[in-house]
Amino acid sequence: MRALRILLIVVVILGGLFVIADRVAVNFAEGEAADKLRTTENLATTPDVSIKGFPFLTQAAGGELDDVEVGIEGYEASTGTGDDTIRIDGLKAEMRNVTFSGDFSSATAATATGTATLGYDTLLKAAKSEPTQVGPGVTARIVGLSDGGNGKLKVEIDATVLGAKLPRTVSVLSSAAVVDGDTVTVHADSLPDFGVDLAETRIRSITDFQQTIDGLPGGIRLDKVQAAQDGVRISVQGSNVRLAG
């Protein structure tokens, strides 16, 4: 019995040491991965990297991690126009089946899914915020974007008819969609009433617009989009996503 008790104590101690060693190793690996990702993606701040699953050491020995979560605040994505960028907030991605090189200099995820937010003030820059002529004596511009409920955007428009501003701001509900995996489009569900007859194409030249969002980390792409309280909520996904190297 005494020998059994000693054996159990040794097992518990060794198990505790293994857990400690495993957590130290995973914390070190998360820090190294975060620094590498900051460098390769030229990020302004260090991202959050969380390696899920236990134990980490056995996963590392096999050269593949089951689940890695990455969080990036204030990512500057490409707009596809020169050096212009657009700020993406709260980018979070869950990477599955991540394989890596022996020196951890490169890593690739078989699949990735996640979310990000495009603020309304940021998206407004893609809209016609300067007065634009939409018909004889009629000019209009978008002055605000907000959550219209049920995944719709509320688009607020100021219009001037024959030099006189309409007595109120006209608003329409619009649908947002993703096109070609890199472009957010906004399309009015119905047309605003400016009090004069105008061609639909002329009105939509104001109400409808789009914003390209390209160059996301690892080549992940836009999947779905809908309006939310704090901005346009974007779902992203990808396969064979390269995290580093």
pLDDT in tens, 50-81: 888 778 778 777 778 888 899 998 888 888 77
Could you tell me if 175 and 189 are in contact, meaning their C-beta atoms sit under 8 angstroms apart? yes
| Most distant CA pair in the chain, distance | 100
Task: Please state, in angstroms and as integers, the Cα–Cα distance from residue 216 to each residue in 104, 111, 127, 198, following that order.
Answer: 21, 15, 22, 39
91 residue type, one letter: L
pLDDT digits (tens, 9 = 90+) for 113-141: 999 999 999 999 888 778 888 888 888 88
With a cut of 70, which residues of the chain have pLDDT below it? 1-24, 102-105, 166-167, 244-245
Query: Which pLDDT belongs to residue 58?
Result: 80
Note the pLDDT of residue 4: 47
Cα separation of 34 and 55, whole Å? 20
pLDDT recorded at residue 19: 58
